[in-house]
Amino acid sequence: MTILRALACQTLALLLTLGLAYLQPIFHNPIVFLFTQSSFAVGNSFLLRQPTWWIPIHLLFLPSVFICFTLALPAWIYLLTVIVLTLVFWGTIRGDVPLFLSSSEVAEVVIALLKKENAQTFVDLGAGVGSVAIPVAEKLPTVQVEASERAPLPWLISAFRGRNLSNFTASRHNFFTTDFSKYDVIFAFLSPLAMPEVSEKIKREMRVGTLFISSSFPAPNWHPERILYINDRRETLLYLYRVQKNETSQTV
Ligand SMILES: C[S@@+](CC[C@H](N)C(=O)[O-])C[C@H]1O[C@@H](n2cnc3c(N)ncnc32)[C@H](O)[C@@H]1O
């Protein structure tokens, strides 16, 4: 569905720009043409309510195609690019969360929180290349750290980075199939779209008193125990949720 919407944005933008080029010779200029098509594509993306991370993709899509054609690159480069992008952004095409990496400042704060919680078990839901899970496993050897990731290439990178850490496991699966009750602290940096389903599963399965840390995106209808401001490039906010008895009674 997501990919069909993206294709619809691009195709409609192309048709509109071709229509303008038919009416006005100024649009025969490649730069004007590409700029107009990209702008229409972004506008369509807004109209079709696509997540904001589609904006750079729509902006760059046709200009990149144009540049590749003018450079006359060999065909295998296109194939390689598609393979690598598929392995990295595995589920993104179906509307999943894309790969963005947490900063080292976020990892430091998560380490401090795990120490304070005296946690024994920790998982990063959608661990990417292990930007949080690896530093945690390195700094806290007594904590069993799991990096749960569905996309093959990020998973492989995190498994390789953690190959010498006996307290680290990189599991390649959909975290919705995991039982959350085994973790003392769960960290997630996902997307607003994923938060309702994730937080419902957390409330259902995590033990009373355990901690859920959500980076950047709040859990809907759940009042955080604390919100931490991280002084990093993204000015990340960490939302801390304490799982309580009869969790539904504390929803707002
Ligand atoms: C925004 S990145 C965060 C990466 C890492 N946690 C960090 O903080 O640097 C989100 C990751 O979640 C993964 N992901 C999304 N949904 C998933 C699912 N259901 N199961 C496993 N991984 C998932 C994506 O492949 C992506 O790598």
Mean pLDDT along residues 36-64: 90
- H helices present in the chain, as ranges: 2-23, 30-47, 54-71, 75-88, 104-117, 133-139, 152-161, 195-205
Ligand 1 pocket test, pick from 190, 198, 200, 233 with the greatest ligand atom count within 8 Å of Cβ, gives: 190
Of residues 245 and 210, more confidence is placed in: 210
Residue 65, SS3 per DSSP: helix
From the list 97, 100, 145, the residue with the least C-alpha distance to 120 is 145
**pLDDT tens by residue, 51-83:** 787 888 899 989 988 888 888 888 788 788 878
User: Residue 31, CB half-sphere, CA atoms under 13 Å: how many?
Assistant: 0
With a 6 A CB cut-off, is 150 part of the ligand 1 pocket?
yes
Q: Which two tokens stand for residue 199?
A: 């937080």
With a 6 A CB cut-off, is 236 part of the ligand 1 pocket?
no
Neighbours of 82 (CB within 10 A): 10
Out of 18-22, 70-74, 126-130, 171-175, least confident range: 70-74
Residue nearest to atom 4 of ligand 1 (CA): 128
From the list 221, 226, 228, 220, the residue with the least C-alpha distance to 241 is 226
Q: How many residues does the chain have?
A: 252
Is the CA virtual torsion 213, 215, 219, 225 positive or negative? positive
Check whether 147 has a pLDDT greater than 70. yes
Q: Strand 168-171 vs strand 237-242: parallel, antiparallel, or unpaired? A: unpaired
Check whether 251 has a pLDDT greater than 50. no
Residue 72, SS3 per DSSP: coil
Mean pLDDT along residues 3-28: 92
How far is the C-alpha of 124 from the C-alpha of 171, rounded, in Å? 10
Using pLDDT thresholds of 50, 70 and 90, give the confidence band for residue 91: low
DSSP 99-141: -----HHHHHHHHHHHHHHT-SEEEEES-TTTTTHHHHHHH-T
Using pLDDT thresholds of 50, 70 and 90, give the confidence band for residue 182: very high
Q: Which helix (H) or strand (E) holds 211?
A: strand 211-215
167 Cα to the center of ligand 1, angstroms: 20
Residue nearest to atom 1 of ligand 1 (CA): 100
With a 6 A CB cut-off, is 132 part of the ligand 1 pocket?
yes
Q: Which atom of ligand 1 is nearest to the CA of 91?
A: 25
Task: Please give the share of the chain, as a percent, with pLDDT higher than 90.
Answer: 70
Cα-based angle 79, 8, 19 (whole degrees, multiple of 5): 105
Check whether 95 has a pLDDT greater than 70. no
Check whether 94 has a pLDDT greater than 70. no
Cα-based angle 119, 231, 199 (whole degrees, multiple of 5): 45
Domains of the chain are 2-72 (no CATH), 104-250 (3.40.50.150)
Check whether 233 has a pLDDT greater than 70. yes
Distance of CA 100 to the CA centre of its chain: 5
Residue nearest to atom 19 of ligand 1 (CA): 174
Residue 252 pLDDT:
40
For 31, residues 6+ apart whose C-beta sits below 8 A from its C-beta are none
Out of 47-56, 170-179, 212-221, least confident range: 47-56
Using pLDDT thresholds of 50, 70 and 90, give the confidence band for residue 92: low
Using pLDDT thresholds of 50, 70 and 90, give the confidence band for residue 205: very high
**Is 0.75 surpassed by the pTM of this model?**
yes
With a 6 A CB cut-off, is 93 part of the ligand 1 pocket?
no
Q: Which atom of ligand 1 is nearest to the CA of 127?
A: 6
